[in-house]
Structure 1
Amino acid sequence: MAISVDYLNKKVKECFLDLGSFPEDKKIPLDVLINMWVESHGIDEEDAFAILVELSDKNLLTLVKDARSGDAYSSYHEIYVTQHDVLRDLALHLSNHPDVNERKRLLMPIRDTELPRDWGRNTDRPFNAQIVSVHTGEMREMDWYPMEFPKAEVLILNFASNEYFLPPFMDDMPKLRALIIINYNTTEATLLNFSVFTNLTNLRSLWLEKVLVPELSNTTAPLRNLRKLSTVLCKVNNSFNPSVLDLPMIFPRLTELVIDHCDDLVKLPVSICKVNSLQSLSITNCHRLSELPAGFGLLKELQILRLYACLELKVLPPSIGELIGLKYLGISQCVNLRSLPREIGRLASLEIIDMRECPQIVNLPSPVMLLNLKSLRRVICDDEVSEDWKNVKRGMRHLHVQVAEKWYSLDWLHD
């Protein structure tokens, strides 16, 4: 097995070794891996995905794919990676350097109640790791060693607890670009010491899973370089208080926002409409989301809008017709959504509409309006509304109408 790994391209081998950063027997969200590789290896998303496919083809990892995904606008968080324990052990073995301070990856091979003792014995020198991965239970302030990570670009905090004190050494990680915080407990964890974010000026990607997202306000230190923010299985409503939150001030360069399985999200802050840099917005499985801001059309750079399984969402704001750059609109399983707004006909850049399992939508806007969708190439819909789309297709020969099969999954209940 080690011989086959040795024959990998250097960059591909480095990505394989990164897989040892995650706990055994856990699904790794593809989005986490892709962001990690982009930030730590200086490659773009397309190259990162190609590496993933190569590792899969060589049986060095396994892709677990949501049956709904597959088109060019599928979200990476719909795909997971798993790895056999033997392969993970190999990655850990090859990453071990005799000098713990000189390891490129500083990893905990198994979950423990405390940090490895050899880490504590070497705190007199900086740790030169680029990737740091911790896997513990609850951590208090006194549980952390006084460690220095001048070169760390990726920090992964895996834990299982109700409370978690963020490591004080985060206060001085000048090169940190990707931060992944995953709680494997059954309930959301409270994060303590959130003030360490103040100095993460180079952070570009933040993944929060199963935590209580701290309240954000105009006094929150801006994360000026953050491009991607993902909140999964989190409690977020307090953090998104519409009356006090100025999102463009806190995240002035945010391009991608993912909110998934956050069951307390009811409304988005109005200030999201002023995040001029936002290109992709995914709000999925947020069953209590009831409306989008009226000024939603101000997001002129938005290309992807994914609203999947937002059960309480009944209407889309008319201003959606002002999203001149929108290429993908996904509203599948929005079971109470009553109609497509007639203004949708103004979306000249729109290429794909995914509206499967929207039983309340039984009529489409006027065909005259829909014929203005000059870029539309694909519609995925239920059988009940497919004939209306096929009537539109008569005037749009390039349009493909796909009738979706009903499909259900409880995969999100994993672990």
Structure 2
Amino acid sequence: MSRGADMAYVQVPECRRLPVAVQQNVSCNYRKDGLFNRLKRSIDALDDDEKQCFSDLAAFPQRKYIRASSLLDIWVHVRRMNREKAVVLLLKFAARHLLHLTRNIWLPSIRDDCLNSFTFSQDDVQRNLALSLVELYNRIHFRRMYVFEEQTDLYTMRQTDGYQSSEAQIVSVHTGAMTDTQLPQMDFPEAEALVLYFRKREYCIPRFLFEMEKLKILIIHNDSGKRVKLNGLDNFQLPSHLQSLHLEMVKVSSLLEHCKVLGSLEKIRFSGCEGLGRDTMFDFPGLLECYFESCRDLEELPAGICSSISLKVLSIADCGCLRKLPEDLDKLGSLKEMRLCGYSSLDALPPSICKFTKLEILDVSGFFVLHEEGQSVLKETLQKLAKIQCLRCVICDKRIKELFESNFRSGLLKFVVV
């Protein structure tokens, strides 16, 4: 791995390299523990590039389910890895028990080459292994910036000998509540990935986010149990080079209102978010992948999504209030994968989706139609969809399959009944 792919790291004020509790656990407990030593042999067998990637896992909290795609995006955009190679490496870590990999039941794994339906987590031992690598690389380059002490008052942080935040490429801040009086004055001109993880119902976006001119990946994860409005957004814009945006359990309307046109944005994921709708600002012309998951107040997709003419993946899972899709979806002529999973309110597919001539995967599992008129419209739409030459896989329930069967091209179209 090149020197430029390294990261910077800073500790909480009470500790030079790692939080005191972690130092004690590593030095006094886990190094004497047989399980730690056995897993450490798996780490020793990795090459240097793989060890660098494993140390990236420490950017995420332990015992939490984190989207596998979030970590893969870091490896692809910051580590410059091929995505297929990144997927293989993540599976390798899971096979060696260096992390736990879990599939979301609402997202069938068929053709899930990028593990979008998977989450990963680490227990105490696994994460301390990652932290031990962080400490090792920190001694060599001192380029990692992880702040994960929840009650840390960030404002009290001071530069210490060897602390070079200006070289940080991945910045990860885990905290409780954060107000504007706690925000530090920091500068991260080389940062390419930022992870903000918090567990309180009051959160102010750090000002240094808006000065990260090279930022490619932004992950904002709220674990407070309630959707939170992000403060500190007035008069700011997101960095123009942003490529991947992951938002979880936040009210997104205020954030998207302050987005200028992000022509570089390739992926956006809304998980458990609130404030989306037809009138929501949504102007991302270069978007390739868009995910809506468990957005319970989503009744209609943002109108601007149809301007993302390069979109290849549109996934909408467990959004029970969604009642209709835009009529002009046919503008998404590049769409290859469309997932509509776990609905109770959507009773029709717009006829325009029959114009998706490049569509390869259609997932309509959990799609309910309760009245006779709706079934008739759905049957007609499915008959037209069955004639799409590129369509190779349909994920559905038994009833939808029966509507399809009389029209599909035998031997070419595969059904996965769920």
TM range (shorter): 0.7 to 0.9
- Partner Cα separation in structure 1 for residue 383 and residue 65 of structure 2: 46
Q: Which residue of structure 1 lines up, in the alignment, with residue 178 of structure 2?
A: 139
Does residue 265 in structure 1 map to residue 298 in structure 2? yes
**Cα pair distance change 1:280/1:368, threshold 3 Å:** closer
**Cα pair distance change 1:51/1:108, threshold 3 Å:** same
Q: Which residue of structure 2 lines up, in the alignment, with residue 383 of structure 1?
A: 398
- Write the deviation string for residues 10-55 of structure 1: whole angstroms up to 9, x where unpaired: 2221111111111111111112111121111011321110110111
Does residue 106 in structure 1 map to residue 145 in structure 2? yes
* TM superposition shift of 1:144: 1.8
- Write the deviation string for residues 160-217 of structure 1: whole angstroms up to 9, x where unpaired: 1222111111122122110100010011111112257525111111111111113477
Does residue 198 in structure 1 map to residue 237 in structure 2? yes
Once the two structures are overlaid, the 10-residue window that deviates more, 183-192 or 372-381, is: 372-381
Contact 1:101-1:125 within 8 A present in 2 as well: no
Name which of 76, 83, 90 aligns with 1:45.
Answer: 83
Q: Which residue of structure 2 lines up, in the alignment, with residue 318 of structure 1?
A: 351
**Cα pair distance change 1:195/1:40, threshold 3 Å:** farther
- Write the deviation string for residues 87-129 of structure 1: whole angstroms up to 9, x where unpaired: 2012112212697995332113442242396555579954422
Name which of 126, 142, 156 aligns with 1:87.
Answer: 126
Relative contact order higher in (CA < 8 Å, ≥ 6 apart)? 2
Runs of 5+ consecutive residues of structure 1 not aligned to the other structure? 342-359, 405-415
RMSD: 3.2
- Partner Cα separation in structure 2 for residue 164 and residue 100 of structure 1: 32
Question: Structure 2 length normalisation: TM-score?
Answer: 0.81
SS at match of 1:201: coil
SS at match of 2:88: helix
* TM superposition shift of 1:7: 2.4
Name which of 345, 353, 360 aligns with 1:327.
Answer: 360
**Cα pair distance change 1:369/1:158, threshold 3 Å:** closer
Once the two structures are overlaid, the 10-residue window that deviates more, 104-113 or 228-237, is: 104-113
- Partner Cα separation in structure 1 for residue 139 and residue 372 of structure 2: 59
Name which of 263, 267, 270 aligns with 1:228.
Answer: 267
SS at match of 2:324: coil
User: Which amino acid counterpart does residue 117 of structure 2 have in structure 1?
Assistant: E
- Partner Cα separation in structure 1 for residue 89 and residue 235 of structure 2: 33
Contact 1:100-1:119 within 8 A present in 2 as well: no
Name which of 62, 65, 71 aligns with 1:33.
Answer: 71
Alignment of 1:161-310 (within 5 A): 161-195=200-234, 198=237, 200-215=239-254, 220-237=259-276, 240-242=277-279, 245=281, 247-248=282-283, 251-310=284-343
- Partner Cα separation in structure 2 for residue 38 and residue 367 of structure 1: 37
User: Which amino acid counterpart does residue 294 of structure 2 have in structure 1?
Assistant: H
Contact 1:182-1:208 within 8 A present in 2 as well: yes
Question: Structure 1 length normalisation: TM-score?
Answer: 0.81
Runs of 5+ consecutive residues of structure 2 not aligned to the other structure? 1-38
Q: Which residue of structure 2 lines up, in the alignment, with residue 9 of structure 1?
A: 47
SS at match of 1:276: coil
Question: How many residues were matched structurally?
Answer: 379
Q: Which residue of structure 2 lines up, in the alignment, with residue 344 of structure 1?
A: none
Once the two structures are overlaid, the 10-residue window that deviates more, 126-135 or 18-27, is: 126-135
Identical-pair percentage: 32
SS at match of 1:148: coil
**Cα pair distance change 1:374/1:173, threshold 3 Å:** closer
SS at match of 2:98: coil
- Write the deviation string for residues 277-312 of structure 1: whole angstroms up to 9, x where unpaired: 211111111111111111111111111111112321
Q: Which residue of structure 1 lines up, in the alignment, with residue 14 of structure 2?
A: none
SS at match of 1:226: coil
**Cα pair distance change 1:228/1:380, threshold 3 Å:** closer
- Write the deviation string for residues 221-261 of structure 1: whole angstroms up to 9, x where unpaired: 22221111111111123xx443x74x34xx12111111111
**Cα pair distance change 1:96/1:311, threshold 3 Å:** same
SS at match of 2:167: coil
Once the two structures are overlaid, the 10-residue window that deviates more, 83-92 or 175-184, is: 83-92
Q: Which residue of structure 1 lines up, in the alignment, with residue 35 of structure 2?
A: none
- Write the deviation string for residues 289-344 of structure 1: whole angstroms up to 9, x where unpaired: 11111111111111111111232111111111111221111111122376999xxx
